[in-house]
Structure 1
Amino acid sequence: MALFQLAADSDETTADHAALREENRRLRKICQALMERVESGGSPDSAPYAAFERSVLLAEQVRERTDALHRTLDELNQVNTRLRAANAEAEAANLSKTKFLAAVSHDLLQPLNAARLFASALETHTLPEASQALVGHIGRSLKDVEGLIGTLVDISRLDAGVLHADKAPFAVSTLLDALAEEYRQVAAVRGLTLHYVPSSALVESDLALLARVIRNFLSNAVRYTEHGHLLLGCRRRSNGLEIMVGDTGPGIPEPQRRAIFLEFRRASQPQGNQSRGLGLGLAIVDRISTMLAHPVTLTSQLGRGSLFSILVPYAAPTTAPRITNSRPVPFNEWEHGPLQGCVVWVIDDDPATIEGMQALLGSWGCRVRAAATASALEAASDGEPPAVLLVDYHLGEERESGVELAARLRHRYPRLAAVVITANHEAALKRTIREADMHCLLKPLKPLRLKMLLATLLKSR
């Protein structure tokens, strides 16, 4: 029985071997057929195995480059992380710079503002000739300090990006008439004459920033012109109003015409001109004109003079200015003009500024009431209504702003003209003051500018 079983197993094994051999033979035939098909489908100049090897090589290169890409992405992520950290530090530094500028604008300019007021008031007094000369030197020195600090603060604000434009429509005469009256006197001190051609055009711009540009043009014209005259006027162009300031100075050589718009670059000054400056005035002009999108041009001829101009867009015909100022009162009308005997209220939380304003306004013939609060003024006024209110914008952390206080007093005195005085150059504040139908003057206060504004406001009552 066992022998029979072994024979049966041997037969099965033999049959399995035969089946395997048959299967192997069949698979070989299939493989051979596939190889023939691959070889017949390939190009005559390339072997199929070479193509396969190239495919494997390409796959390996793709894998290596993918790994390299992942490594690069990881490195970029690390760089982005560092950049985000650096950007956060830069923003913190910029915020600190902004706070510093705010402190400079208010805390540093506040005592300078008071000093200018005292010096200007003293100039109106009858003094010995030697003392009058000393007062003049003090006034000029304070003006130089004011100009230097103001220039540094302006360029820092522009670089920090904290100064923004507040564009609005206005009659260009409201700006140029006042500047013409102001610089006619400034030019006369240097023995120069100013020719002014007024314009009735309506333009759209930031009045304060545009004034900064024109003032710079006029100041440079006075500084660099030894004899002759200056020109302030406008020319209507198809794409805007060109405001021009010309002089009969020495002219600017061609190689210097681009360089003078860079920081700390100044043209050669005439001998004996000791006017101080940092060479930042035209750099500020360049930044402001870029911010406002008002192109500035310069033409000059050696020995014949220079002409600076800025192109300002027209206001829409249907748009009217919110505040329409009267024509400035000429200097020769001031002696017996509207300032004599007018009641002016001054509200400021700085005692030195109050004393300075009292001295200055009193020297102009005004009847001045000054205090830190409106209630104190009303108590001392004996019911006499004020004609003009001069109010500081910052009246303390927990007090209402100058704009709010002026609005409250206007409800009580409807004909009250309000002037807000501030060291804050923010566009939003200027817009708020303008929309409240008030006027804005920036610190350090320019006595001549204040006097012109007061005379104009009082004459229009």
Structure 2
Amino acid sequence: MFFSGRTNRFPVVSADTANFLSNAIRYTETGRIILGCRRRANSIVIEVWDTGLGIPEEKLQEIFQEFRRLRPQDPSRDKGLGLGLAIVDKISRVLEHPIRVRSTEGKGSVFSVEVPLGELALFSEIQGPRMQEAPNGLNGADIWVIDNERAICQGMHTLLSGWGCNVVTALSLEDLLSKVDPRHDPVDMLIADYHLDDDQNGVDAARGVAKLMDTPLNVLMITANYNKELKQDIRELGYFLMNKPVKPLKLKTTLLHLLKDRNAQ
């Protein structure tokens, strides 16, 4: 953690740095690697510098694509699948933590992520009346998430947990049912991506969960498909719909609206 001795504010550090360090070690045969941070008004920029292979200008965006790797100088160390930076990029987009990269081929690279500062609450405050604030907020909401991309599940878990939700994520209906029991476990909202693996979709997954429940299931369907017929079909099922890309603020506002009566039930 990167604490400042002058304030009770601290940065929310993601796992991006670990991936940056791993890549720096992999692609730096000689020289050095530096991990540092720069303080800004309401955030901290965490940087990883290396004196490794460097990246050609035309490949700077390509490295964030799945299954894309640069060839390290020692092939025996090339054991990655090329998913690391792709996952980092997706999680960072969900959390709105900007990632930047600068590189000179043959000289090295600098990877950075900017993370916000948070408030470090005192123990007495945690135990105090603030725990009772915002009775109609998301604190304590039970939310299940189905998405076939593990990185999105990780990002959604981090995001929703930060809003006080109790979160269970799964890659498929079967995965979800191995973690929860819809007959007995409480759930306020199921968030499902429409496109899943193995010719499955979020609508079928939602139906699979709903048929095991005695009470209606609230469903928020997320899709990159802008087809009007699909939108109409989802709405006729009584599901709520959001199109990608989903911004955290928009998602939070939507959940607050959909769950506004949760505590009054």
TM-score, scaled to structure 2:
0.49
For the pair shown, which has the larger CA radius of gyration, 1 or 2? 1
TM-score, scaled to structure 1:
0.29
Q: Would you tell me which structure has more helix in proportion to its own residues?
A: 1
Q: Would you tell me which structure has more strand in proportion to its own residues?
A: 2
